[in-house]
């Protein structure tokens, strides 16, 4: 008999099931309303289910949901034009990824390549995602140990220093 598939216990689950949202409000299954100060990791920064966002997603999904980034894509070109009006002068290139962890990992890779330096500083209590490079940089011994369980994680971890949060003196001392 097939055993049921369950999610790996990666997240500590809160006892709250949100079934719908609108603007700054969330509703649970029992119909209770909550004011959302979290905005889904800030992903829903323009409000939950904003009609223009919903319409844009629907319009694109009806045309083309996904194709490889190796091909030109009109929607990506439009996004680049908009982002170009928002980014500081001097930033001329973008690289689209699918998750926060990927974005952070690419930022680390670019910074190391650009500067030729290898050491990375992280802060206690910080969280940057669940890829190897972002886990070794996590400000929690639990996450760092998960990454160090493999050889690649151990190699990366040698380049990471973890500093206390909100302690400029400790940071200065580390860079002296």
Residues forming contacts to ligand PLP in the complex (CB under 6 A) are: 41, 99-101, 104, 127-129
CA distance 126 to 28: 29
Q: Helix, strand, or coil here: 49?
A: coil
Q: How far is 165 from 143, CA to CA, in rounded Å?
A: 17
Sign, Cα dihedral of 42, 48, 49, 53: negative
As measured in angstroms, the least distance from the Cβ of 43 to ligand PLP is 8
Determine contact, residues 164/123, Cβ cutoff 8 Å. Answer: yes
Separation of alpha carbons 108 and 119, rounded Å: 10
**Alpha-carbon gap, residue 72 to 50, rounded angstroms:** 28
Rg (CA), the chain: 20
Q: Which residue is nearest to ligand PLP (CB)?
A: 100
Burial class, 107, CB count within 10 angstroms (exposed 0-12 / middle 13-18 / buried 19+)? middle
Q: How far is the CB of 110 from ligand PLP (least distance, A)?
A: 16
Does residue 148 contact residue 155 with C-beta atoms inside 8 Å?
no
């Amino acid at each position: 008999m097939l055993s049921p598939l369950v999610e790996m216990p990666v997240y500590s689950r809160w006892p709250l099931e949100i079934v719908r949202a609108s603007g700054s409000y969330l509703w649970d299954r029992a119909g209770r309303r909550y004011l959302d100060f979290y905005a889904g990791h800030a992903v829903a920064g323009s409000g939950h289910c904003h009609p223009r966002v919903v319409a844009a997603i629907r319009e694109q999904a009806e045309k083309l949901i996904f194709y490889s980034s190796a091909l030109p894509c009109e929607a990506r070109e439009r996004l680049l034009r908009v982002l170009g009006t928002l980014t500081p002068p001097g930033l001329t290139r973008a690289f689209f990824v699918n998750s926060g962890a990927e974005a952070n990992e690419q930022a680390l890779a670019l910074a190391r390549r650009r500067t030729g330096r290898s050491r990375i500083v992280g802060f206690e209590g910080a969280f940057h995602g669940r890829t190897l490079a972002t886990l070794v940089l996590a400000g929690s011994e639990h996450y760092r140990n998960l990454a160090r369980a493999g050889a690649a994680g151990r190699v990366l971890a040698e380049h990471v220093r973890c500093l206390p949060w909100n302690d400029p003196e400790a940071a200065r001392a580390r860079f002296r």
